[in-house]
Structure 1
Amino acid sequence: MTLQSRTPRTPAGPSRRKVVQGLLGASAAALATPALAACGSGAAADPKTVTFGSNGADATPKKAYAALTDAFHKADKLTVKTNTVDHDTFQKSISTYLQGTPDDVFTWFAGYRMQYFAKKGLAAPVDDVWEKIGGDFSDAAKQLSKGEDGKYYFVPLYNYPWAVFYRKSVFKKYGYGIPANWSQFTALAKQMKKDGLSPIASGYGGGDSWSILGAFDYLNLRANGYDFHMSLMRGQVSWTDKRAARTIDLWRELAPYYQSGAAGRSWQDAAQSLLDKKSGMAVIGLFLGQQVTDESLRSDIDFFPFPEIDSAYGQDTVEAPTDGFMLSRKPKNADGAAKFLEFLGSAKAENLYMGVDPSNVAVNSGADTSSYNALQKKSAELIAGAKHITQFADRDSDPGFISTVIEPGFAEWLNHPDDGSALLKKIESQRSHFFTA
């Protein structure tokens, strides 16, 4: 059983949704369209129609979104006209699209990516929608859905966690325990190395340097807490801050346990080494099991939260990239769009979506989880118990800063880890080019 190759990333950031679909349901090739443009641009508003801009062009999410729009039409007698564009084109064209005549409702990402367009005035607040759906979402989900002005701009649909994945049979064979803190984690890695395993699967060759960001995020979150991490991601504090240096120190401590030759390996090959029992652990997302169809193998995959480093922060933050919906700045059918968003934020909508595309975890606390497999159930529990939810570095920060400064800097440093002072100075020298006061 091997993992298929991942779609190349674009300057706008990686499209991990194409990857994650493989864990619990097969994905299909994207149905590319040349450009992102609104349905019926320039046409008069139709009070019985809501327009919807979707990045779900792969066969499975496209079918899942169709199930949602059909159900909404039956319930509210409003027709949803869907404008579907492949994921990467959608991301590349989003700014131009939103400044033109966008669809009433459109798919997008929670956190910084949402806040960026809200701050630019390219999206409308949806507080009225949240007055009706708010009781079904956790405080962390609410936090992810708010703009910098405290208003709601986002309605979440699904997410998936990052954690430390492993095979249960490997842990049983060697008698490994689940590490709860940093000293136990590094001790386990050391023992795995003695036992002839690569302790931590790693592959960041080619366009896969995004895959190393999960480890950095968790190290920084566990050592310095959510507030500092988000300030760092958003360019509000210096990268030469002693707290950032502390994170690099911890990473250097972990680096000897990374799988050798990672710079020349894809993330899929690294993940495969875990499935093949050549590596003991992997810091990765739920999409680890892409294209795994052998249920006995899937049932042998498990994970634990990234260990505690500082008891002041514990394990209170979970990386869980979250996708959902936003309202354009001047929707042609504002009332219809609000009704559509209210429906999209319902447990019914999430149940319908996952009935077609089970490769994710519902955000609405009222969603039916009875059909979840073990990994889904555990993922839902991990996310639900989080005090804070982060999205992942390239969604929580300026994507250009991450792709042109952070990723290549981290990848080069991991080849020859040192105290990181030169790395952090170089990153800091570029911060002002991407963030303004």
Structure 2
Amino acid sequence: MSRRTLLRATALGTGAVALPALLTACGSGPGGDSVTLGSNASDPVPKKAFADAFDAYEKTSKKKVKVNTVDHNSFQQNINRYLKGSPDDVFMWFAGYRMQFFAKKGLLTDISDLWPEFQGFSKALKDQSTGEDGKQYFVPYYYYPWAVFYRKSVFQQHGYEVPKTFDQYTALARRMRKDGLVPIAFGDKDGWPAMGTFDYLDMRANGYEFHLSLMRGKESWTDPRVKRVFDLWRGILPYHQQGANGRTWQEAAQSLARKQAGMTVLGLPHPGQQFTAADRADLDFFPFPEIDSRYGQEAVEAPVDGFLLAKKAKNKKGAKDLLKYLATPDAEERYLKSDPNNVAVNDRASTASYNALQKKAADLVSGARQISQFMDRDTRPDFAQTVMIPSIQRFINDPDDIDGLLKSIESQKKTLFAAE
């Protein structure tokens, strides 16, 4: 489920980037029996899983859900214009800051009246669904942790041990290369996958609080602590798959599945979708290693996906009825039967069908002291897309000019965040 490629803000501002035809809602009238839903679940596994959940709603409600599925990257690239134009009634999006950004712009409908009926959501989930104005705009659906994934059979074959520290991680990568493996599968063609590596390096080296403050524009990117993150990354970059900017995350995950690579840093669904059902039991993960003992491995990257009601929705009554269903344990259970690569957010949803990897993922997140949402969800969308995507890709191509890179990021950050 890739998210986005480089969004050219200047082109968007002048209208040079056209909104894909498929991203224009087909809409129904107010109060009708049909609700339109904008979906970014373009990959086969989640697409079928969502279809199963929507089918269940249609059967019980006798109402129709018209799903408008668009390539994930295209959906994200055009989301701002989509919401300002003729959006679907309900659309898929992300919790936390990414949701708050559009709520603040007045592009979402307040659904605080629905939340008293919701059961099974923790206070933390409610907080992630709440805008800066204290109102709720989001229905959480599932989450998935980021970690270091590997094949158990490959580790067993070579006698590898799971690393606990960054030094051990680097030593393992060095050993894998000697054994003829690509140590770390890596693909950043879509721009966002490498953000997960940055997030973990920063949280492990500088702590969750500093990382979140950096994402919110409150810290300088020229700070020595940020430079150290890139220095650490530069030191291990030679063990990453070369040519990452020309490789998709799917291709990187496939190299892990084919036993050509030893490890990869991704979210739970990403390698899971590239493994066959027969091979899935061989997939495992470990938490990103410790860099500074003060912070250990206590922070976990675990994005939450869910649904929002567009401000310009044509059928708000029908949309709210659908959202009430999507907030139920049944809705999540039906989804997870077809997509075993995510974890339900509703604590009343049954975990009986969870595989070992899902159970381990749930344990990892439940044991975390802090949970981040991912760089492009914890910061301004324009900063993530127009500044950080090209900056990280530039670093991957040329990791030796860290000072120049950080000065450029800081300068652009000041301009964007000054507009708040």
- Counterparts in 2 of 1:194 and 1:143: CA distance versus 1, 3 Å: farther
Partner residue in 2 for 1:142: 126
**C-alpha distance in 1, partners of 2:3/2:307?**
24
SS in 2 for 1:367: coil
Q: Is 1:233 matched with 2:215?
A: yes
Partner residue in 1 for 2:271: 288
Residue 151 of structure 1, aligned match among 121, 126, 135: 135
Q: Assess if the C-alpha contact under 8 Å between 1:248 and 1:419 holds in 2.
A: no
Decide which moves more: 332-341 or 233-242: 332-341
**C-alpha distance in 2, partners of 1:372/1:10?**
32
**C-alpha distance in 2, partners of 1:277/1:356?**
25
**C-alpha distance in 1, partners of 2:391/2:105?**
29
TM norm structure 1: 0.80
**C-alpha distance in 2, partners of 1:404/1:273?**
29
TM norm structure 2: 0.83
CA deviation map 1:332-388 (0-9, x unaligned): 665654443232111111012223444432221222222222222222322333333
- Counterparts in 2 of 1:434 and 1:300: CA distance versus 1, 3 Å: same
- Counterparts in 2 of 1:263 and 1:154: CA distance versus 1, 3 Å: closer
Residue 330 of structure 2, aligned match among 329, 343, 348: 348
Residue 25 of structure 2, aligned match among 23, 37, 41: 37
In the TM superposition, residue 99 of structure 1 has moved relative to its aligned partner by 3.5
In the TM superposition, residue 160 of structure 1 has moved relative to its aligned partner by 2.3
Q: Is 1:180 matched with 2:164?
A: yes
Q: Assess if the C-alpha contact under 8 Å between 1:33 and 1:85 holds in 2.
A: no
Partner residue in 2 for 1:86: 70
User: Any gaps of 5 or more consecutive residues in structure 2?
Assistant: 9-19
**C-alpha distance in 1, partners of 2:84/2:245?**
39
**C-alpha distance in 2, partners of 1:309/1:250?**
10
Q: Report how many residues are paired.
A: 405
Query: How big is the alpha-carbon RMSD for the aligned residues of Structure 1 and Structure 2?
Result: 3.2
Q: Is 1:250 matched with 2:232?
A: yes
Structure 1 residues 5-20: aligned runs within 5 Å: 9-11=4-6
Residue 305 of structure 2, aligned match among 323, 326, 342: 323
Residue 129 of structure 1, aligned match among 107, 114, 128: 114
Partner residue in 2 for 1:118: 103
SS in 2 for 1:124: coil
SS in 1 for 2:354: coil
SS in 2 for 1:146: coil
Q: Is 1:304 matched with 2:282?
A: no
Partner residue in 2 for 1:221: 203
User: Any gaps of 5 or more consecutive residues in structure 1?
Assistant: 1-5, 14-31
Q: Assess if the C-alpha contact under 8 Å between 2:151 and 2:262 holds in 1.
A: yes
Q: Assess if the C-alpha contact under 8 Å between 1:38 and 1:83 holds in 2.
A: no
CA deviation map 1:314-348 (0-9, x unaligned): 32332233221112337666565444323211111
CA deviation map 1:136-158 (0-9, x unaligned): 23454333222223332211112
Q: Which amino acid aligns with 1:424?
A: L
**C-alpha distance in 2, partners of 1:253/1:399?**
29
SS in 2 for 1:39: coil
Q: Assess if the C-alpha contact under 8 Å between 1:138 and 1:384 holds in 2.
A: no
**C-alpha distance in 2, partners of 1:122/1:263?**
33
Partner residue in 2 for 1:386: 368
Partner residue in 1 for 2:357: 375
In the TM superposition, residue 422 of structure 1 has moved relative to its aligned partner by 1.5
In the TM superposition, residue 215 of structure 1 has moved relative to its aligned partner by 0.8
**C-alpha distance in 1, partners of 2:234/2:143?**
30
Q: Assess if the C-alpha contact under 8 Å between 2:187 and 2:245 holds in 1.
A: yes
Partner residue in 2 for 1:95: 80
Q: Is 1:420 matched with 2:402?
A: yes
Q: Assess if the C-alpha contact under 8 Å between 1:36 and 1:93 holds in 2.
A: no
- Counterparts in 2 of 1:67 and 1:192: CA distance versus 1, 3 Å: closer
SS in 2 for 1:155: strand
Identity of aligned residues (%): 53
In the TM superposition, residue 305 of structure 1 has moved relative to its aligned partner by 0.9
- Counterparts in 2 of 1:185 and 1:211: CA distance versus 1, 3 Å: same
**C-alpha distance in 1, partners of 2:299/2:97?**
16
- Counterparts in 2 of 1:78 and 1:116: CA distance versus 1, 3 Å: farther
**C-alpha distance in 2, partners of 1:280/1:49?**
51
Q: Assess if the C-alpha contact under 8 Å between 1:140 and 1:387 holds in 2.
A: no
**C-alpha distance in 2, partners of 1:381/1:241?**
34
Q: Which amino acid aligns with 1:179?
A: P
Q: Assess if the C-alpha contact under 8 Å between 2:58 and 2:65 holds in 1.
A: no
